[in-house]
């Protein structure tokens, strides 16, 4: 979840402390790093429950709140990244979003294939990577809108999502829109309604807070570079897609080995 640090910026150089690396906003990288860290924490305890090591009610109470915070952060920051990319590459933002969205969606298909082999009935049909890929493809549609318009559209996505979640479809063909058969089950399900609304809101926030790709509105006083000791977390925020793809296989392997001891 919230993943797309590679599109908007150039390569991060962690040893450079004298000035802000070119075209990077450390607070955005740091936010991505926190988001992916929350995802990893959630998945550690999800996997402990899934493997029968430590039982947890992962979609209730505090765990559900953690999952929602991580997912919303992931999606919103993806929208911010598109806004930052558009500020730097106005002439070919559609091409860049097509290329990056296609890549993310491809990895979503890979996740579908792998989970189908190992999870059978609960495999990922339309998960967070599918949603992110599609959302990035469509995100340029919302770049020229004022913030209040993006906020209204995001609210509309949420409203439609609340309506369609109570509709039981006879076919899985509409799963991607949030209309699912009553028997549907998946370990990762993020349909367009309501979740794409958070990406749209992120686009609006990105254009509002970072017009021309630069920090123009300081909600709080921010230094030129990230606070010392947080470079690792900021670096993590520049590699979110690959961390997301790799961390679950690593966790499953480690916890399975631990269980067998």
Q: Model confidence over 26-68: pLDDT tens digits?
A: 889 999 999 999 999 999 999 999 999 999 888 889 999 999 9
- CA-closest candidate to residue 87, choices 203, 212, 206, 214: 212
Give the tokens for residue 185: 């089950």
Domain, as residue range, for 235: 26-260
Residue 165 in domain: yes
- Phi, psi for 180 (deg, rounded to 5): -120, 150
Number of domains present in the structure of the chain: 1
Judge contact between 56 and 98, C-beta under 8 A: no
pLDDT score, position 217: 65
Can you name the residues that pair with 180 across neighbouring β-strands? 168
Residue 10 in domain: no
Most confidently predicted of 1-5, 21-25, 230-234: 230-234
Residue 91 in domain: yes
Residue 125 in domain: yes
Q: Is 74 exposed, middle or buried (0-12, 13-18, 19+ CB in 10 A)?
A: buried
pTM metric for this prediction = 0.86
């Amino acid at each position: 979840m919230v993943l797309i640090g590679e599109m908007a910026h150039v390569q991060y150089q962690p040893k450079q402390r004298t000035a802000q690396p070119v075209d990077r906003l450390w607070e955005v990288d740091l936010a991505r790093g926190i988001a992916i860290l929350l995802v990893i924490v959630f998945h550690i305890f999800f996997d402990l429950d899934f493997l029968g090591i430590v039982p947890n009610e992962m979609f209730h109470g505090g765990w559900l709140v953690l999952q929602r915070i991580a997912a919303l952060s992931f999606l919103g920051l993806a929208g911010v990244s598109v806004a930052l990319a558009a500020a730097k590459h106005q002439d070919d933002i559609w091409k860049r979003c097509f290329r990056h969205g296609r890549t993310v969606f491809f990895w979503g298909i890979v996740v579908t294939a792998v989970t189908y082999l190992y999870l059978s009935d609960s495999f990922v049909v339309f998960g967070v990577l599918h949603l992110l890929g599609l959302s990035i493809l469509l995100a340029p549609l919302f770049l020229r809108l004022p913030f209040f318009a993006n906020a209204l559209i995001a609210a509309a996505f949420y409203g439609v999502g609340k309506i369609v979640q109570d509709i039981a479809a006879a076919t899985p063909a509409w799963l991607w829109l949030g209309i699912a058969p009553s028997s549907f089950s998946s370990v990762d399900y993020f349909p367009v309604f309501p979740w794409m609304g958070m990406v749209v809101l992120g686009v609006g926030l990105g254009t509002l807070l970072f017009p021309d790709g630069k920090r123009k509105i300081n909600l709080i006083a921010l230094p030129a570079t990230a606070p010392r000791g947080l470079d690792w977390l900021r670096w993590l925020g520049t590699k979110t897609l690959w961390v997301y793809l790799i961390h679950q296989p690593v966790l499953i392997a480690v916890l399975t080995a631990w269980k067998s001891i």
